[in-house]
Structure 1
Amino acid sequence: GTSINTFDLKGKFYPLIWGADAPKYSSSESRVCFPGSLNETLVKGKIVLCDYLDFMEGPLQAGAVGALIRDDGFKDFAYTFMLPASVLGLTDGSDILHYINTTKKAEAAILRSTEEKDELAPYVASFSSRGPNILSLDILKPDITAPGVDILAAWSEATTVTGVVNDKRIVPYNIISGTSMSCPHATAVAAYVKSFHPTWSPSAIKSALMTTAWPMSPKTNTDLEFAYGSGLINPSSAIDPGLVYDAGEIDYIKFLCGQGYSSKQLRLVTGDNKTGCTKATNGSALDLNYPTFALVVSLSGDDTYFSRDFHRTVTNVGSPVSTYNAIVNAPKELDIKVKPNVLSFKSIGEKKSFVVTVAVKVGLPTVSGTLVWDDGVHKVRSPVVAF
């Protein structure tokens, strides 16, 4: 397990007791160390082994000097506690319990937390939402991944470190995990790109963030693109993406009409009573000018392969005179063809359209690959996912 312990017990060893052996009224309650469940006489001045992960208000109230917590619930981010504490996995925690039960005078010491490099990083946290996007399966979600685990961030001094009233520590900074940490990173990078390109549309900025993201490993992210989207956000590359997949109001009107929105519903979104869904505005989600490609496999008869065409347009925002070659990376089960597979530009702002045909063998689990437009300087990468 991981935990954040800023308390310094000077490396001193203290008597160690299991919460279940110190009940105030019930061992089933005291083993999880709920507030009011521990016998103060038995735990005062000791380190308590608890079978539940919370802020450890119970051991603090009972006079314990620290706590060991055995819990496998959250392995990939750290908690802050109200007293010196360390989180153990269930296996290590069971070893500690065996030590307590077989030793006359069990002792433990809790050291301050130290930073350790995670060789598996980057990977998506267990608590982060996954795709697919149930509202529109044809649009791959999430878009991108940003840092959101164990982030040192500003913290309101109107509350305590843990947010628990009995915690008396007030700090201007805290270590926090969650989407509320990754969102500011992504927002800041978008603003950073906007500072270099003030005239770019939101879609162009989003495209820049997505097509320049660092690829993430499927070995440590078994949900693949449904976990990490286009990859890990890369601020330095996002300011110079080379090409962008831009989209405006009419593109999204076509998308919404194609999703079954009525004219009345559409006007609630656009705020424009002149807009409406007609044959001319009834588009396909496959053709929304998005920097990803999601193929939803539909079984039909005895077909061995299922395929669809995706129409896309890119805008040159890199070198005025440039030529991009399409590079496809995909497993043999996923066939990706691009036409044309070479795009040549003569000026900034010039647009070029192309068609991507994706075919996949029916009956397979999620299969993914990538399409990269490469001019020797820029690598405009888009994930291609069939599921």
Structure 2
Amino acid sequence: MRAKKGLTFGGLSNEGHDRVVVVFPNKKKQLHTTRSWDFIGFPLQANRAPTESDVIIAVLDSVIWRESESFNDKGFGPPPSKWKGTCQTSKNFTCNSKIIGAKIYKAGGFFSDDDPKSVRDIDGHGTYVASTAAGNPVSTTSMLGLGRGTPRGAATKACIVVYKVCWFDGCSDADILAAFDDAIADGVDIITVSLGGFSDENYFRDVIAIGAFHAMRNGVLTVTSAGNNGPRPSSLSNFLPWSITVAASTIDRKFVTKVELGNRITYEVNYLLYPI
């Protein structure tokens, strides 16, 4: 694609830079049940294609807690031959045969005291996203005895690659776009992006739209989240014609307790905000 000459934004111009297509602000985006797969009709005993173990899923997020049983590499062999990436290790993180690659992105290079310079997950969000996509089955899991079941990912035999683009202050557009480029070059098959803001009507200024389009042109599927907002008009995130956008839904269970008031009237109420 040829760059359009004379584009200027905020005093920045692409004049004289033939490979710069457009200039726009580097904004911040935000991170958007053991029974979910059963609920939608995808049981643990589902027939799986033999080629599932050759699938590589990239996770752009906060990013991962490798010690979780969801990412135990027992039974996994070497990475698929198409894998071209690397593992950025640190004193508290190394890859294995399940998590085959890792990389950190930090626009500006400044790390606060709350930001460990590692792909180690900072808040659990990335670990949850990765396990939902490709986590191993973990039996008899519960939250203090509630919601007992077998959480697992959609593609349990797939390999995972993690790209840390989210920190305590959010997820930088520059980091997200760089991670998209690297994931495509690294040979992944699917990119999952569970983050965003209110989508820009102009796809040329939406880095997730740009990254997902680039991925699509290179045969890589992008799966995005529809966001945490709504229901109200214009509350959807990541409504892209070239990606799969996944929205939230209800589920077929709830966790209740009884509350007795002073007048001895008893009410049954939900006491977990988010079902597990």
TM-score by length of 1: 0.20
Larger relative contact order, structure 1 or 2 (CA cutoff 8 Å, min sep 6): 2
Q: Which structure is higher in helix share?
A: 1
Normalised to the residue count of structure 2, the TM-score between the two structures is 0.26
Q: Which structure's CA Rg is the greater one? A: 1
